[in-house]
Amino acid sequence: MKRTNTFALAPTKTQHERLLEIADACARLWNELNYRRRQSFFKGEINWESRDLYDKYKGTIGSATAQQVQRKNNEAWRSFFALLRLKAEGKLPPHVQKVRPPRYWKNRETGERKLLILVRCDCYRLEAGALKLPKKLKVKWKGQP
């Protein structure tokens, strides 16, 4: 069973800018991975190679976060292929109307990227009302974790 912790943060202006930078880089990494895989899929193959993108973004978002984004993208594509197999076998669940490749992280109405940060469970800490993140970010949070 996986657990998701969601926090309402109260960052300073500098921290807010840094968080936006990290979230934007995460979205760019996801979208570049997705673009590469979509293009290779529509050519009749699938390209799982992503080391160059990992190297490109690990300095900005950290290696663990880059790995998490890659893992999440891999999981989305494996799920897509599993649904394609089920569709071919005629065993597609009734709630699934159409099988589509994973989407890009963007708002379809505005065209702006969705800003998400995926943090591995061993890469954050809650200490004295603050969330400690990689890249020396210590952001205060509000409410219950």
From first to last of its 145 residues, the chain has per-residue pLDDT tens of 677 777 788 999 999 999 999 999 999 999 999 999 999 999 999 888 999 999 999 999 999 999 999 999 999 999 999 999 999 999 999 999 899 999 999 998 999 999 999 888 888 898 888 989 888 899 998 876 5
* 3-state DSSP of 109-134: CCCCECCCCCCCHHHCEEECCEEEEC
Does pTM surpass 0.75?
Answer: yes
Q: Are strands 130-133 and 8-9 parallel, antiparallel or unpaired?
A: unpaired
Delimit the domains of the chain by residue range: 8-142
Q: What is the dihedral of CA 83, 84, 90, 95, to 10 degrees?
A: 40
Alpha-carbon span 115 to 23, nearest angstrom: 5
35 touches 103 (CB < 8 A): no
